Each structure stands twice: as C-alpha cells, then as structure tokens.
A and B are shown apart, each in its own frame.
Chain A
Amino acid sequence: MTKDAVQGAAEEADQAQSKKGLKKQQKEAEKAAKKAEKQAKLAADTQSTDEDDFAKDRYGVPQMVQSQQKLDRVLVRVQKLTPEKADQLIWVRARIHTSRAKGKQCFLVLRQQQFNVQALVAVGERASKQMVKFAANINKESIVDVEAMVRKVEQKIESCTQQDVELHIERIFVISQAEPRLPLQLEDCVRPDGEGDEDGRATVNQDTRLDNRVIDLRTTTSQAIFRLQSGVCQLFRDTLTNKGFVEIQTPKIISAASEGGANVFTVSYFKTSAYLAQSPQLYKQMCICADFDKVFCVGPVFRAEDSNTHRHLTEFVGLDIELAFNYHYHEVIESITDTMVQIFKGLREKFQTEIQTVGKQYSSEPFRFLEPTLRLEYTEGVAMLREAGVDMGDEEDLSTPNEKLLGRLVKEKYDTDFYVLDKYPLAVRPFYTMPDPNDKKYSNSYDMFMRGEEILSGAQRIHDAQLLTERAIHHNIDLEKIKSYIDSFRYGAPPHGGGGIGLERVCMLYLGLHNVRQVSMFPRDPKRLTP
C-alpha cells in the first residue's frame, strides 16, 4: 500500500522533477518498505519463538519469597565451589556482580560476600536464546538462585576467588531485583589508591562511600575488615575468659562525668539531665571493690570531643579491662599485653585471607610485635626523642607528632609495632592515677601503642579513699559529685589497675589503614549522624 501511495506522489511530481530524481526517490521508498517488512517479520518471529521457548520454566522472576513453601533445596556456599565438586548439579544463591553477554553466551560473575565465581549461560540443550537474553539483562547486585553444573576449567580464572571451576547455569531465578542504577560501583570502591588516577578511572571518596554504606560494605575489602573486627572481639573475649575474667555490662547513661566534664554528651533524663558514659571506668572499679577480681566489658563509649581527625569518633566500641593484682601493677600490664599478643597471634593464624584481601586495596607492612611485649619507661622515651632532636620537658605530655616519631624510633631500634610506655608524669594523668612511690613526679600509669598511635591508656588506680580525696582536691574536683565513687573504696578495696582499648583503632592500626571510619560500620563523628 505504501508503495502505491509513493508511486502516486511520484506521478504528480513527474513534470517538475527530472527522471534521475524520480528514480532516486523510488529507490528510497523501496528501501523503507523492505525495512518495515523485515521488522514486521522479526517481530512475528520472536513472537513465535516466545511461544515455543522450550526453556521458559527455567528462568524468570518468581513470586516474592513470603515463606509460601519450604523447599528441601541445599544452597551451596560459593566458597565451597572447588574442583572436588566438579560435575555435580548444585544450587547457589548469590548476587550478580557483573554480567557480560556475547552472542549466544552470557558470562556472569556471581558474588557471595568476599567470594565470587564465574558462571556461564550458553544457548544449547538446557538454555534457550531467550534465557541467555534474560540472564544478560538482570541488573547488577540483584540476588539470584542458580542451578548449575560445576565444571573444571583448563585455565585459571584470575578475576575470581574460585579460580579452578566455573558454573554452567541450567536454571536462573531472580529472588530480589536491584534498581538498574547504583549510586556507586563496587569496582571503584575496591580499587587501590592511586591506581584509578593512572587509568583515568573513577575513585569514590570516603564521604560518598559512607553515604551509601550498605553498598560499600559489600566490597571484598569491607567484608574482610569487619570479619577481622569480629575476630578481634572474639579473641579478646576468649583470651580473657580463659584467664578467669568475668564479662560485665555497665550502664551507659550515667549521672556524673567520669573523666573531666568537657567531653561528655548531655542527655535529657526526665526532669534532670544525664550523661553518656565516656568509659565504664567507675563501674569497672566498683566491680573490683565488689570482689569480682578480674572483669572486662565490651560496649559503646561516647566522647563529645569536637575533633575531626582520622582517628577520633564520637561513639566507638571500648574493650575495657580491670583487674586486682597482688603486689605490683606490672602484673596488670603483663596481663593486658599478653591478651593483645594473643589477639595478634590469633589474627595472624585465623584471618590470613582477610588480612591479604585488605592488603590488596590498602597495602601495608605486616604487623610486627615482640613477645613478651617491650616495655619502655617514659624517661627513656623522652631521651630517645631528645636524641632525635625534639625539645621537650621532663613532665610534658607526648604530642601526637612526638608519639608518632617515638613509634618510628622504637620500630627502628626494636622492630616492633606494639609497645608499652610506662611511668607517665603524674601531672598529665587523671586524678585517680596512683603516684610512683619512688618519684612523686611520675605515676604508675602506662599507654600502649600500635604503629605509633595510642590504643590503650591505663594505670594503677588509687584504692585508698583518703589518698583519692587528696588527689581529687589537688585536681580541683568537686568532692560532692564523686562522693559515691570515693565511698566505694571505704569498705576495703584491693589494689587494682586496668585500661581501655578502642576496638576500631586496634583494627585500623593492625591492618595499617589510615582512617578509623573505614573500620567503623556506621561511623559517628561531629559531622556524621547518618546512616
């Protein structure tokens, strides 16, 4: 019909146009007609094949899982896909990490946590053309159930963690569809620093990552970091429990600030106000006075310091230890350092893959330590700094740059990333710190350092109510406010000491990362309250 219309129009314009122009027009018209015909044919074709798609029950988007049925289906972990499983038909639930269609084939990378495997849908006996097309069109990050045959591969697949096998997909169902556009790409998140700049590829900055934390946490690096962090907690608990410690839970809403009033959060508490605990310090000590002997506590700690640095958070997880000792507070130091060494050893043994995974993105030297832990005295530290040309007073506190420099000097001489600095000047420590019996200028207190940054601060506490009162007066502390604390030492208190460790800092420094936000799942700092 179109052809006729075109011919009619041509006849009308016959006189005006030359013969050449007429021929050209005719040809064009024929072309258009052919194209239309072809399209119609293709549409009809696909319709007809749609109807006789032999594999149409092998793929698709099933009903939302509302627990309608309980299948006896075993879902194999991606991690377990090894050559031993070759030529078995298995089910896997995983995310679509990437997909790449190529003619009659479609390659998928299926990811499950930090492991991934290559999967293949190819047109053949089991899969139809439509199925391949469907597989290629599944959005990234969607969750799929896949039934597939495990096949050994001749060449190792370098881009996957399961390098020796691939999956030949026979069925594929989308359990949860992801939106087509992701706020950030996972590949951009795991690219090592500097590599993106060279290739001109995108890198994601910290804030974007934290804004889309849920997606960022899916990266192999994040998965490894938080698995390791869980390991630190686990090892901390196990080691201390084996040493006969008791885990306690302390209130986080407290009536008075424990260390200095400046950096506490105030919360309204019915008709009065209360504070968020800066440390379970007072409660740990009360437990010691209540004969618990050795206690530890894992819980949130709040600091209202308005410091936007790479190592400060306003809420973090504190690992706190307090124990009664017999005669010398070094018993406490030894107990804590031994716990730390056990944690380091445990991480080295059990979390080697995680350490390596993080190392791929953020390379750093392996963590080194000595057993027993090196203990230096404050005066020695000052002497080392002075030898290096730092000008500082005997009773001056270590500034952050000096702390780092001292860390480097100690590393150079002793080759350890972990050490204890003992006998701090009394003037720079809180009022409950026990003074040194030999020299009134110093105190029985200590800090522990990892890679030159402080992770623990502790001391022998004053267990004598009278001396405690004296020291509190010396520090101009209102005795009324800490009355209940001082009173707990009036009825017999054993000598004791302890310290508190920041979980995030330990993880950050163990892995040699540069920002504490990387090791905090949902970090809180003066500028961030979400997600």
Chain B
Amino acid sequence: MPMYQVKPVFGDDIKTDLPTCMYKLPNIHAQRSASGCSEHALQNGTEVDPAFRDLEVRQDNIMRRLYELKAAVDGLAKTVTTPDADLDQTVTSLSQSPTATSFSGTADLDSLLGKDLGALRDIVINANPARPPLTLLVLHAMLCQRYRVLSSVHVHSSVSGVPAQLLSCLGPRHADSYVRQRFQLGFTLIWKDVSKLQMKFSIQNMCPIEGEANVARFLFRLVAPYPSDPALATLVDSWVDTAFFQLAEGSAKERSAVLRALNGTLGRDPWLAGPELSLADIACYCCVLQTGPAASSPANVQRWLKACENLGHFGPANPLLQ
C-alpha cells in the first residue's frame, strides 16, 4: 500500500556559508532524497573505481614480468661467472622459490630475514676461543662476497688472553666501518666463555641458536638456497650432523668410519650432496682438517680436499689450522 508522499520541508540546494574549521559531513537530506538505502550501501562498497583496479592489476603484471626477466638474467650471469654452477639447477630453483634467488641485495635479505626495520641486521655469535668455529669463518667469507657485511670481533670480559690470530680472524676492517648504516648485514663475533657456540639474531622473535652446526645452516641459507629437493636437503643436514658430532667430537674409531663413508660417497659424486658444493662439503672439510692431518685420509677424500681448497672459500680458516 503506497504511503503518503510528503514534500520535503526545505529544498536540498540551500547554499549556506559553513565555517572552514569544522568537519564536513555530506548533507543527509540530499542523500535521502537522491537514492534509497540499499542503493546507498552499494555505492559505499564500490567506492574504488573499477578503472583504477584494472590499472593496478596491469601494473602488477608488468612488475612481475620485469622481476622474472631480472631473475633470468641473474641466473645467466651466475652460470657465466661461476663455471661449475649448473644451469638447470639454477633455473629450476628459480621457478620453485623465486624469492630466494631472483632478487639480490636488500630485497633478498628482507624476504629471508623479515621486514626491514631501517637499521643494520646484526648477527651476534658467541664463540669460545678454545674452539674457533672454522665453518662459520668460511661462511662469513662467503657472506662478504654476496652482501655488504660489517664484521667485527670483540672479546668478552669472561675470557682473557685471546690469541692475536683470533682477533683478526674476520680479516682487516672494512674501510667504511665507521658508518654502520652503509652495510646490509652485521657479523659480530664475540670471544666468550661459553660451553656451546651461540648465535643471537633477533632477540624479540628468536631464541638463541646453539651449536655450530645449526648456526652454519642459518648462515648458509643467506648465501645460497638450500636444495629444494627434500631428500637432498636432508642429506646435507645429515652430513653436517655427522661432521660435527662424529668427526669433530667422536672417537678415533668413529672418525675413521666417517672417513670411509666420505670416501665412498666422493667416489660417486664430485661433492658430498650431488653436483654442487653445499654446506655438507664446507662442514666436513673444516672438521676433517681440524681433527687430523690430510695425508692420512683415503684417496677420494684427498682429491675432494684439494678440490675444496681450489675453490678459494677456505682462505680465512687456514691460518687457524695448525
């Protein structure tokens, strides 16, 4: 049943001089007279012009294509500059985890380590001078090749008389080290009386990471992506465990068993986890050399040790090996 139509009491086009110091509200009378309630709600929901949304989508597409192109060029550049890198490997890993490899620089660290807080991301490692973490020194050198790393060595008050070679183990000071903001990553090594090597990174979100092996895994992920194949990734992890628990801390019997296993694996593959150098090789190399003379190892192991040395990553660890 239609209701009475009542004429508006006053027209909605009255011009009034409003003071500028007040909030502006739409004229409620004008709204009511212009459209019904349901129409009004609809209008609120589609405030964004569809043309704008199209434009945004198109721009996103273009950006994504640009990133992909950049990633492909980066991959190519990598194969050209490092001869033993496998093209297929790079391309597959690229398609599976584009964020890990396709970007470089800050964007890369943002995706790996979380959002940028506008300050240096400082990795703090507490190590006992009685057991210098060789693997981490090697990884530090690799990090330096990839990022701008501010390295510093400190001595904690809990230890005294740290040898000079340990104080300079991260190489000479960077020429820019007086401006911390110019670096992407901080690597702070503190010689301290700790029973287990310890890494502190983001104290708000992470508990301190204990054990050289675990810290090595963390650092290696910043240098290169872990193998995307779960089996291969587990293999790498298991070699790292073997290196630190059986080679470095085990008895003579265990050590020789590991050396035999190494020899067998290295007979089939150039590196411990397939065709590419991985964390497994770095960890095992350091632990083998730390525990005994290289000459006493089996033939394949010796060949592999030579191959490792040829890569040039192990320079920083060498002065600390007797």
Please report A residues at the B interface, Cβ cutoff 8 Å. 328, 330, 344, 348, 367-372, 374-377, 379-380, 382-384, 386-388, 409, 412-416, 438
Q: How far is the CB of A504 from chain B (nearest CB, A)?
A: 22
Residues of the A chain whose Cβ atoms lie less than 8 Å from the Cβ of B180: 375-377, 380
Q: Which of B167-225 contact A (CB under 8 A)?
A: 178-181, 188, 190, 192, 200, 202-204
Q: How far is the CB of B296 from chain A (nearest CB, A)?
A: 39
Q: A370-B190, A380-B180 are in contact. Are A415 and B156 (CB under 8 A)?
A: yes
CA distance A414 to B180 in the complex (A): 16
| B178 A330 Cβ-Cβ under 8 A | yes
Q: Which of B157, B178, B179 touches A369 (beta carbons < 8 Å)?
A: B157
Residues of the A chain whose Cβ atoms lie less than 8 Å from the Cβ of B119: 377, 379-380, 382-384
| B120 A414 Cβ-Cβ under 8 A | no
| B117 A413 Cβ-Cβ under 8 A | no
Show 15 A/B contacts (Cβ-Cβ < 8 Å), sorted by A: A330-B178, A344-B157, A367-B157, A368-B158, A369-B156, A369-B157, A370-B154, A370-B155, A371-B154, A372-B152, A372-B154, A374-B154, A380-B122, A387-B117, A387-B204
> Is B124 interfacial (CB-CB < 8 Å)?
yes
Residues of the A chain whose Cβ atoms lie less than 8 Å from the Cβ of B163: none
Residues of the B chain whose Cβ atoms lie less than 8 Å from the Cβ of A414: 124, 154, 188, 190, 200
CA distance A371 to B200 in the complex (A): 18
| B124 A371 Cβ-Cβ under 8 A | no
Residues of the B chain whose Cβ atoms lie less than 8 Å from the Cβ of A377: 119-120, 180-181
> Is B126 interfacial (CB-CB < 8 Å)?
yes
> Is B11 interfacial (CB-CB < 8 Å)?
no
> Is B118 interfacial (CB-CB < 8 Å)?
yes
Residues of the B chain whose Cβ atoms lie less than 8 Å from the Cβ of A380: 119-120, 122, 180
| B203 A409 Cβ-Cβ under 8 A | yes
Residue of B119, B120, B204 contacting most chain A CB atoms (<10 Å):
B119
Residues of the A chain whose Cβ atoms lie less than 8 Å from the Cβ of B117: 383, 386-387
| B118 A413 Cβ-Cβ under 8 A | no
Q: Which of B120, B155, B178, B179 touches A371 (beta carbons < 8 Å)?
A: B155
Q: How far is the CB of A56 from chain B (nearest CB, A)?
A: 59
CA distance A416 to B126 in the complex (A): 12
CA distance A372 to B178 in the complex (A): 14
Q: How far is the CB of B158 from chain A (nearest CB, A)?
A: 7
The 9 closest A-B pairs by CB, nearest first: A383-B119, A370-B154, A383-B117, A380-B119, A371-B155, A369-B157, A387-B204, A377-B180, A413-B203
CA distance A413 to B203 in the complex (A): 6
B202 nearest in chain A by CB position: A387
CA distance A374 to B152 in the complex (A): 9
Residues of the B chain whose Cβ atoms lie less than 8 Å from the Cβ of A387: 117, 202, 204
Interface size, B (range): 20 to 34
CA distance A416 to B200 in the complex (A): 13
Residues of the A chain whose Cβ atoms lie less than 8 Å from the Cβ of B192: 415
CA distance A376 to B118 in the complex (A): 14
A382 nearest in chain B by CB position: B119
| A438 B179 Cβ-Cβ under 8 A | yes
CA distance A384 to B124 in the complex (A): 14
Q: A348-B157, A386-B117 are in contact. Are A379 and B190 (CB under 8 A)?
A: no
Residues of the B chain whose Cβ atoms lie less than 8 Å from the Cβ of A438: 179
Q: How far is the CB of A514 from chain B (nearest CB, A)?
A: 22
Scan B123-161; emit 1 where CB is below 8 A from any A CB, else 0.
Answer: 010100000000000000000000000001011111000
B114 nearest in chain A by CB position: A387
B179 nearest in chain A by CB position: A438
Q: A344-B157, A368-B156 are in contact. Are A415 and B126 (CB under 8 A)?
A: yes
With A328-B178, A383-B119 already in contact, 11 other A-B pairs whose C-beta atoms are closer than 8 Å = A368-B157, A372-B152, A374-B188, A377-B119, A377-B180, A380-B120, A383-B118, A415-B126, A415-B156, A415-B190, A416-B156
A408 nearest in chain B by CB position: B203
Residues of the A chain whose Cβ atoms lie less than 8 Å from the Cβ of B124: 413-414
A341 nearest in chain B by CB position: B157
Q: Which of B158, B181, B200 touches A413 (beta carbons < 8 Å)?
A: B200
CA distance A416 to B188 in the complex (A): 13
Q: How far is the CB of A516 from chain B (nearest CB, A)?
A: 24
| B157 A370 Cβ-Cβ under 8 A | yes
| A379 B181 Cβ-Cβ under 8 A | yes
CA distance A96 to B77 in the complex (A): 86
Q: How far is the CB of B41 from chain A (nearest CB, A)?
A: 36
B120 nearest in chain A by CB position: A380
Residues of the B chain whose Cβ atoms lie less than 8 Å from the Cβ of A368: 156-158
Residues of the B chain whose Cβ atoms lie less than 8 Å from the Cβ of A383: 117-119
CA distance A380 to B204 in the complex (A): 14
CA distance A530 to B4 in the complex (A): 91
A417 nearest in chain B by CB position: B157
Residue of B126, B154, B200, B202 contacting most chain A CB atoms (<10 Å):
B154
Residues of the A chain whose Cβ atoms lie less than 8 Å from the Cβ of B179: 438
Q: How far is the CB of A170 from chain B (nearest CB, A)?
A: 48
CA distance A375 to B118 in the complex (A): 17
CA distance A409 to B200 in the complex (A): 12
Q: How far is the CB of A4 from chain B (nearest CB, A)?
A: 90
Residues of the B chain whose Cβ atoms lie less than 8 Å from the Cβ of A369: 156-157
B186 nearest in chain A by CB position: A380
Residues of the A chain whose Cβ atoms lie less than 8 Å from the Cβ of B155: 370-371
Residues of the B chain whose Cβ atoms lie less than 8 Å from the Cβ of A412: 200, 203
Q: How far is the CB of A235 from chain B (nearest CB, A)?
A: 15
CA distance A372 to B162 in the complex (A): 13
Residues of the B chain whose Cβ atoms lie less than 8 Å from the Cβ of A376: 180
CA distance A388 to B204 in the complex (A): 7
A370 nearest in chain B by CB position: B154
Q: How far is the CB of A512 from chain B (nearest CB, A)?
A: 14
Q: How far is the CB of A69 from chain B (nearest CB, A)?
A: 52
A330 nearest in chain B by CB position: B178
Q: How far is the CB of A336 from chain B (nearest CB, A)?
A: 15
CA distance A101 to B151 in the complex (A): 68
Residues of the B chain whose Cβ atoms lie less than 8 Å from the Cβ of A379: 118-119, 181
Q: Which of B84-133 contact A (CB under 8 A)?
A: 117-120, 122, 124, 126
CA distance A296 to B156 in the complex (A): 28
A410 nearest in chain B by CB position: B203
CA distance A412 to B120 in the complex (A): 17
Residues of the A chain whose Cβ atoms lie less than 8 Å from the Cβ of B120: 377, 380
Residues of the A chain whose Cβ atoms lie less than 8 Å from the Cβ of B181: 377, 379
Residues of the A chain whose Cβ atoms lie less than 8 Å from the Cβ of B156: 368-370, 415-416
